[in-house]
Amino acid sequence: MSRDEKRHGTAYGLLAYGIWGLFPLYFEALKPAGAWEILAHRIVWTLVVCAAVLVARRDLAWVRDVVARPRLALGLTAAALLIALNWVVYVYAVLSDRTTEAALGYFLNPLVTVALGVVVLGERLRTVQWVAVGIGAVAALYLTFAGGQFPSIALTLAASFGAYGLVKNRVGVHLKAMHSLAAETAVLFPIAVVVLAWLAAGHATTLTQDAPLHPVLLLLAGVVTAVPLLLFAAAARRIPLTLVGLLQFVTPVLQLLCGVVLLGEHMSAQRWVGFGIVWVALLVLTVDSVAARPRRAGADLVEGNVPA
């Protein structure tokens, strides 16, 4: 791999994770739309963008392969439902002024992914990895008892995204990023249409409010979803997985900054301590992954590292 390729890949990765990290500002700008309306528009317009790109490229032959393989189609359906859960919970977190808890979820995600590897795949962890997972569990317990509130949003985001990465790794790893996104949004499209029809019937849709800015922002949901994914795919082809794993922390850091600095969310002392414990766990996991790179080529870092 040339030095230029690695530099370009790093830039693409920073752009992708940077855009994902700024998503709270975009979803905040979509008010007064609620989480379900935003989810529905995101699904519909993402599918439109994917379809337009695939038709322009004449890249539709893969659809026949997906339809002809029931196991792959079932896996993509499961992945679609998991990412939909992740998306709607994340948007709800932003709209309910809990962006910092969403950021915690993405900090926890690598630890959850490692734990899923043990529980579901029967993988064996190195001692240092067990230490990292243990520290992460301590953080979750501390936030529950010292913080006085179960971190439901953070754990739901981490678990749903970890499970999404696991399913994708098992059944859809050979699909290109655009193919996978198109298939998943196609699965969710009927649900999105039902949600939009239900909102329209109840006169609860916001699509026509505050024109033209609000409608345009809703319609841009497809572009906003697809662009960072394509940047991430371009980065993943050019840089080592270890570096991809390190870059992924850009997203929750920016989410945390957006929540505290730009959206004015309050962070209690207990919450900061909980974040600190999580960061210690991530530091341990990252150091171990970098040290293991000559032997494992970074394979122990999270593979399903595409945020909401």
Looking at residue 57, its amino acid is R
Q: Identify whether 123 is part of a domain.
A: yes
Chain centre distance of CA 59: 25
| Domain membership of residue 237 as a residue range | 3-296
Neighbours of 23 (CB within 10 A): 23
Q: Identify whether 181 is part of a domain.
A: yes
CB 185 within 8 A of CB 193: no
Question: Tokens 């991809």 — which residue?
Answer: 244
> DSSP letter at 260?
I
Q: Identify whether 9 is part of a domain.
A: yes
Collapse the DSSP code of 184 into the 3-class scheme (helix H, G, I; strand E, B; otherwise coil) and give the result.
helix
- Per-residue tens of pLDDT for the chain, all 308 residues: 577 788 888 999 999 999 999 999 999 999 999 999 999 999 999 999 999 999 999 999 999 989 999 888 999 999 999 999 999 999 999 999 999 999 999 999 888 888 888 888 788 888 888 999 899 989 988 988 886 778 899 999 999 998 998 888 777 667 888 898 999 999 999 999 999 999 999 999 999 888 899 999 999 999 999 999 889 888 878 887 667 777 889 999 999 999 999 999 999 898 899 999 999 999 998 888 777 765 554 344 444 456 66
Q: Identify whether 302 is part of a domain.
A: no
CB 176 within 8 A of CB 54: no
Looking at residue 250, its amino acid is V
pTM above 0.75, yes or no: yes
Q: Identify whether 170 is part of a domain.
A: yes
Number of domains in the chain: 1
Q: What count of Cα atoms within 13 Å lies in the side-chain half-sphere of residue 155?
A: 12
Q: Identify whether 305 is part of a domain.
A: no
Two structure tokens written together for 242 = 């270890």
Looking at residue 79, its amino acid is A
Note the residue count of the chain: 308
275-295: burial string, b at 16+ Cβ within 10 Å, e else? bebbebbbebbbebbeebbee
Chain centre distance of CA 80: 12
Q: Identify whether 54 is part of a domain.
A: yes
Contacts of 224 (CB under 8 A, 6+ apart): 19, 23, 26
Contacts of 145 (CB under 8 A, 6+ apart): none
Chain centre distance of CA 101: 14
Q: Identify whether 307 is part of a domain.
A: no
